[in-house]
Amino acid sequence: MISASAFNLKGEKLEAVKLPKEAFGVEVKPTLLAQAVRVWLSNQRKSSAKTKTRTEVSGSTRKLFKQKGTGRARHGSVRAPIFVGGGISHGPSGEQNYKMSLPAKMRRLALVGALSVKATTKLIKIVDGAGKANGKTKQLEWLDEGMKTLVVAGSGQDKFKQGIRNLQGMSIAQAESLSAYAVLANKQLVITMEALEEIKKRYAN
């Protein structure tokens, strides 16, 4: 049985929670996980790199020397790419498209694969009663174990998310917007009971 440790808002340990096999116990495919991470990172990339072509650099338009009789190669402009200070040929234009896509079925398989990695390595904690959080960081300080942690909250749990916000090394995600990259980029997962139910409905059915 796949299970995860459960805690209340005070950090007191409760009975372990059973995790659905369809979302936390699937076969892990490293190649698919690597592909999902690559696609996610590529889609975050900005096309800000740009070089100037020979038409954009500054420089005289005068012909360097006469066409014939010098014994040298023919040149017409100091802006040519072969000269220092000349334009760059085949450089980035600032309009590069780094967008990549992954079929929905593959995205789902990658996500449940990432969740399964965390489940099998016992790096998932379940928090019960998150809806009763008072929004104070002090109430949830016990969750901070000095490791990079992704907190998965359910919809409407604003006070719980408010209490998490000031804890160092902890980020927050909604159950419906989880990605394989977000799961793998963090050492530990903290999932509220409500978010776990949303994950079950979305990925275990």
Q: What is the pLDDT of residues 14-24, one digit of tens each?
A: 999 999 999 99
Class of domain 3-31+101-203: alpha beta
| Predicted confidence (pLDDT) at residue 204 exceeds the cutoff of 80 | no
Nearest residue to 4 via CA among 155, 168, 199:
199
Confidence at residue 179, expressed as pLDDT on a 0 to 100 scale: 94
- Per residue in 161-188, pLDDT tens? 999 998 989 999 998 889 999 999 999 9
User: In terms of DSSP H, where are the helices of the chain?
Assistant: 21-24, 30-44, 104-120, 158-164, 180-184, 193-203
Confidence at residue 205, expressed as pLDDT on a 0 to 100 scale: 64
| Predicted confidence (pLDDT) at residue 81 exceeds the cutoff of 90 | yes
pTM value is 0.83
Q: Give me 190's structure tokens.
A: 């903290």
Helix axes 104-120, 30-44, angle to 10 degrees: 120
Number of other residues whose CB lies within 10 A of the CB of residue 70: 11
Confidence at residue 85, expressed as pLDDT on a 0 to 100 scale: 92
CB contact at 8 A, 9 and 133 = yes
- Per residue in 112-155, pLDDT tens? 999 999 999 999 999 999 989 999 999 999 998 889 999 999 88
Number of other residues whose CB lies within 10 A of the CB of residue 18: 11
Mean pLDDT of 188-205: 90
The residue ranges of every structural domain in the chain are 3-31+101-203, 46-97
Higher pLDDT, 182 or 205: 182
